[in-house]
């Protein structure tokens, strides 16, 4: 079969093209040379059997008049998830040396009619069947509602880049439990999968480089620091950042509430990930683990995930009334019979009180250790998928450290956290909803973005089994008219063609990553959309600003670390100590605890008079509802510089105008519990 030459360009003489196409059929895909001396954004060769890009015009480069880069950010994508989950959840590969015909094939068990596609048929798509043939017909996949077929073929990503995308976060993703119940051709160890996906991402970079004439010449550039990323974007290329989104990082699962990892595992894991080039990550995903509790899933997927958690950890999700306005997603209660059949006899999904909307599990002490390890390494925390309780605690810690490295990349964070995130210097991206829904969600926090001067991103979650915008029809008010111009006006995009299939956003929806520019054009055509596109075009600058601030962060010196301490009282225990110095020893596993009465105090001697402007308190469960912070230069004359009557435990960061002091005292006035006051750690900083 004769394959179309990529992008409809001439590839030499007609005879040469015919010979190459015939060779591709008989012997596999041979590279097609491009015209000599072409522009830098065109490859010097491409596999004969390959997707077209259907974009003309030069990609924009450089910076704007203010020296800022432009471009869109896909803050949440899974380029290599076909290598995760045992290798048989996402069918088809991101690239192949043999070209599209080899890469874009269905999983073996999907043949002959798709009825063997277990996960696909549970989660949606067709009515239990689909045509498994990919290249060249693509009758049924990829599709906006098909969750198990490749959406990130490299040429489709290339089209997104040509249409204005300048930063892509490739989240390395897997789940050991899902792997164990599906067909697989490799280990279910999550860290093994993360290593493989990282390696394949570097191989993709090399693959693209070879098309463009050698190392460093391709448009797909993996970056490991903000300056490198900015340089790539200024060149008009795609900066690719590695992230991790997995359920049991470093083996940190829990079984019957017992952690299966320790601090040494976390340190080794973080060092390894950093060495692989990973710069952002989730501490938990889908299942509660030894680091944190998760934000629930809804509907039948939620039921299936809850069952999966039980099979993996021995516990179902548990809920409680929320302490504040934020709440987790409603737990899915719809039937999931395939997953339910895997439960032991007599075990069923529990029911949940309608007024208990928050996960009881928050950020564990091991989770706090992992977060601090990320801070030490200059990595960015992904807040999405954390339970409200875990996210609140994480934000408390980040605020206590004044650490800007926090992201929400695909609408899995309670929006009420948004200002806290922006105040730190973090970055937010929304899930790739339909154009109207995306514009509507953007409008909810538009005033905040204007106040903090930040742009907006999107998280496509391609290959992430999430579902994508469906077709709006050719008669819709915001239907895309082909061809159209990119947001910057420099490129023209027509309908995307792969093999024999012509893709149209109006009739196909966002079936694969190459449809991202079409989706952005549909946003522009939606009421309120032009302003949103402008904000999206500022996304690359905002993301890189957050990343650079994260790298530049310098932890403030703790003036109280290891300093002499005293207290009004200390609880006695024959097996451990609760002496005052335990609150200043740098170990969150120890604590000071007072006697069981209201009027108690804890004092630290800084050794000399210092300027003091911030005190951070890490309360144990026995905390103060009313207390004050006092300073003194001589240990006798005290002045109150901060107080509260609404203490709620957890982390407190007390900031006040800088004052000179040698002694700092935390003075408890009213207990919140029947016990005394108990503090894991207290840190004292300059203003």
Residues 93 and 71: their CA atoms lie apart, in Å, by 27
Helix (H) or strand (E) holding 311: helix 299-313
Q: Is residue 38 exposed (0-12), middle (13-18) or buried (19+ Cβ within 10 Å)?
A: exposed
Rounded Cα distance, 4 and 378, in Å: 46
CA distances from 422 to 293, 376, 427, 543, 672 (A): 23, 21, 7, 12, 31
Least confident piece of the model among 112-121, 441-450, 542-551: 112-121
Segment 505-534 shows an average pLDDT of 98
Give the residue among 256, 281, 277, 288 at the shortest CA–CA distance from 266.
281
Q: Which residue, 456, 419, 412, 434, is CA-closest to 245?
A: 412
Q: Give residue 610's pLDDT.
A: 94
Check: CB of residue 62 under 8 Å from CB of residue 121: no
Task: With cut-offs at 50, 70 and 90, classify the pLDDT of residue 18.
Answer: very low
pLDDT at 337 (0 to 100): 83
In angstroms, the CA 76 to CA 165 distance is: 13
586 φ/ψ sector (left φ>0, alpha ψ -120 to 50, else beta): left
Cα-Cα-Cα-Cα torsion 276, 277, 283, 288, nearest 10 degrees, comes to -40
Find the mean pLDDT for residues 146-152: 95
Q: What is the mean pLDDT of residues 341-359?
A: 94
Q: Is the bond preceding 142 in cis, omega lying within 30 degrees of 0?
A: yes
Distance in angstroms (rounded) separating the CA atoms of residues 232 and 62: 10
Whole-angstrom distance, CA of residue 510 vs CA of residue 9: 26
pLDDT of residue 1: 38
Per-residue pLDDT at 36: 53
Report the pLDDT averaged over residues 373-393.
Answer: 97
pLDDT of residue 5: 31
pLDDT at 398 over 80: yes
CA–CA dist 180, 85 (Å, integer): 8
Q: What is the mean pLDDT of the segment spanning 305-334? A: 94
Of all residues in the chain, the percent with pLDDT exceeding 70 is 94
Is residue 13 over pLDDT 70? no
pLDDT in tens, 80-99: 999 999 999 999 999 999 99
Strands 238-246 and 220-222: parallel
| Contact yes or no for 340/368 (Cβ under 8 A) | no
* DSSP secondary structure letter of residue 128: S
* Nearest of 166, 161, 189, 193 to residue 177 by alpha carbon: 189
Question: Confidence class of residue 12 from pLDDT cuts 50, 70 and 90?
Answer: very low
Q: What does 136-197 look like in DSSP terms, one character per residue?
A: TT-SS-S-TT-SSB----HHHHHHHHHTTEEEEEEEEEE-HHHHHHS--SS---HHHHHHHH
> Which secondary structure element, helix H or strand E, spans residue 84, and what is its range?
none
Residue 126 confidence (pLDDT) above 70: no
Assess contact for 71 and 55: CB atoms under 8 A.
no
Q: What is the mean pLDDT of residues 337-366?
A: 93
> What's the mean pLDDT when you consider all of the chain?
92
Phi-psi domain of 499 (left: phi exceeds 0; alpha: psi -120 through 50; beta: other)? left
Q: Please give the Cα distance from 234 to 135 (Å, whole number).
A: 35
Say what angle helices 516-524 and 529-537 make with each other, to 10 degrees.
130
| pLDDT tens digits for range 280-298 | 999 999 999 999 999 999 9
Q: Is the pLDDT of residue 3 over 60?
A: no
Question: Of 413, 416, 411, 417, which is closest to residue 429 (Cα–Cα)?
Answer: 411
Higher pLDDT, 118 or 212: 212
The proportion of the chain whose per-residue pLDDT surpasses 90, expressed as a percent, equals 87
17 pLDDT exceeds 70? Answer: no
Averaged pLDDT for residues 433-456: 98
Altogether, the residues listed in the chain come to a count of 687
Cβ(249)–Cβ(280) under 8 Å? Answer: no
The DSSP line for 279-296 is: EEEES-BSB--SSB-BPP
Longest CA pairwise span in the chain (Å): 97
Q: Using alpha carbons, select from 105, 168, 181, 178 the residue that is nearest to residue 136.
A: 105
- Comparing 12-21, 105-114, 348-357, 528-537, the range with the smallest average pLDDT is 12-21
**pLDDT for position 31:** 54
Query: 432: which residues sit within 8 A by CB, 6+ positions away?
Result: 410, 438, 458, 459, 460, 461, 468, 469, 510, 516, 519
Structure tokens at 44: 């010097």
- Asked if residue 343 has pLDDT above 50, the reply is yes
Tokens standing for residue 623? 């905390």
Specify whether the CB–CB gap between 520 and 72 falls below 8 A: yes
Q: CA 619 to CA 617: how far, in whole Å?
A: 6
Tokens found for residue 633: 């230069």
**pLDDT score, position 99:** 94
What is the sign, positive or negative, of the torsion defined by CA atoms of 179, 181, 186, 189? positive
Q: Is the pLDDT of residue 491 over 50?
A: yes
pLDDT at 10: 35
Task: Please state, in angstroms and rounded to a whole number, the distance separating the CA atoms of residues 480 and 458.
Answer: 19
Please, are residues 275 and 286 in contact by the beta-carbon 8 Å criterion?
A: no
Query: In the structure, what pLDDT confidence band is assigned to residue 124 with cuts at 50, 70 and 90?
Result: low
Q: What is the pLDDT of residue 608?
A: 96
Peptide bond into 136 cis (omega under 30): yes
Residue 432 CA to residue 504 CA, distance in Å, equals 17
DSSP 648: -
């Amino acid at each position: 079969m004769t394959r179309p030459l990529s992008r409809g360009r001439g590839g030499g003489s007609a005879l040469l093209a015919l010979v190459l196409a015939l060779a591709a059929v008989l012997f596999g895909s041979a590279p097609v040379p491009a015209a000599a001396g072409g522009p830098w954004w065109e490859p010097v060769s491409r596999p004969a059997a390959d997707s077209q890009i259907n974009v003309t015009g030069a990609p924009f480069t450089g910076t704007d008049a203010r020296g800022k880069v432009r471009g869109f950010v896909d803050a949440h994508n899974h380029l290599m998830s076909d290598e995760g989950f045992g290798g048989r959840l996402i069918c088809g590969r991101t690239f192949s040396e043999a070209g599209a015909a080899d890469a874009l094939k269905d999983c073996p068990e999907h043949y002959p009619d798709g009825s063997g596609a277990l996960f696909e048929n549970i989660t949606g798509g067709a009515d239990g069947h689909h045509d498994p043939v990919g290249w060249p017909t693509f009758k049924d996949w990829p599709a906006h509602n098909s969750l198990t077929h490749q959406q990130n073929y490299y040429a489709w990503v290339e089209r997104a880049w040509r249409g204005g995308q300048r930063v892509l976060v490739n989240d390395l993703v897997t789940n050991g439990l899902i792997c164990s119940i599906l067909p697989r051709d490799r280990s279910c160890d999550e860290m093994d999968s993360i290593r493989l996906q990282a390696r394949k991402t570097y191989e993709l970079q090399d693959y693209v480089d070879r098309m463009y004439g050698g190392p460093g010449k391709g448009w797909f550039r993996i970056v490991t620091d903000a300056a490198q990323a900015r340089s790539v974007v200024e060149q008009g290329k795609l900066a690719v950042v590695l992230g991790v989104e997995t359920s049991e990082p470093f083996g940190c699962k829990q079984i019957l509430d017992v952690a299966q990892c320790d601090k040494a595992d976390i340190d080794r894991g973080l060092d390894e990930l950093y060495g692989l080039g990973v710069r952002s990550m989730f501490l938990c995903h889908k299942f509660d683990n030894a680091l944190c509790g998760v934000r629930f899933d809804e509907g039948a997927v939620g039921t299936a995930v809850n069952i999966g958690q039980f099979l993996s950890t021995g516990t179902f999700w548990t809920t409680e009334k929320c302490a504040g306005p934020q709440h987790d997603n409603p737990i899915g209660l719809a039937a999931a019979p395939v997953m339910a059949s895997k439960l032991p006899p007599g075990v069923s999904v529990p029911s949940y009180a309608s007024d208990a909307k928050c996960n009881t599990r928050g950020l564990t002490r091991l989770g706090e250790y992992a977060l601090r390890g990320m801070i030490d390494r200059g990595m960015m925390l992904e807040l999405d998928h954390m339970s409200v309780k875990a996210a609140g605690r994480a934000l408390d810690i980040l605020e206590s450290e004044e650490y800007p490295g926090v992201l929400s990349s695909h609408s899995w964070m309670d929006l009420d956290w948004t200002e806290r995130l922006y105040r730190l210097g973090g970055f937010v991206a929304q899930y790739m909803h339909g154009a109207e829904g995306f514009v509507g969600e953007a409008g909810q926090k538009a005033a905040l973005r204007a106040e903090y001067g930040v742009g907006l991103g999107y998280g496509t979650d391609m290959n992430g089994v999430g579902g994508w915008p469906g077709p709006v029809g050719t008669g819709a008010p915001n239907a895309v008219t082909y061809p159209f111009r990119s947001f910057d006006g420099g490129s023209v995009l027509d309908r995307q063609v792969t093999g024999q299939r012509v893709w149209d956003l109006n009739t196909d929806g966002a079936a694969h990553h190459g449809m991202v520019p079409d989706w952005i054009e549909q946003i522009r055509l939606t009421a309120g959309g032009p302003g949103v596109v402008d904000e999206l075009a500022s996304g690359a600058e905002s993301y890189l600003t957050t990343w650079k601030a994260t790298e530049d962060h310098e932890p403030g010196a703790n003036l109280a670390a290891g300093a002499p301490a005293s207290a009004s009282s200390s609880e006695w225990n024959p097996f451990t100590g609760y002496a005052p110095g335990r609150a200043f020893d740098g170990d969150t596993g120890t604590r000071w605890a007072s006697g069981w009465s209201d009027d108690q105090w804890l004092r630290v001697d800084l050794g000399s008079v210092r300027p003091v402007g911030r005190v951070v308190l890490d309360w144990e469960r026995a905390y103060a509802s009313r207390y004050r912070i006092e300073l003194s230069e001589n240990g006798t004359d005290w002045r109150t510089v901060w107080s509260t009557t609404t203490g709620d435990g957890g982390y407190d960061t007390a900031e006040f105008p800088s004052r000179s002091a040698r002694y700092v005292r935390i003075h408890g006035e009213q207990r919140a519990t029947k016990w005394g006051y108990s503090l894991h750690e207290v840190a004292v900083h300059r203003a």
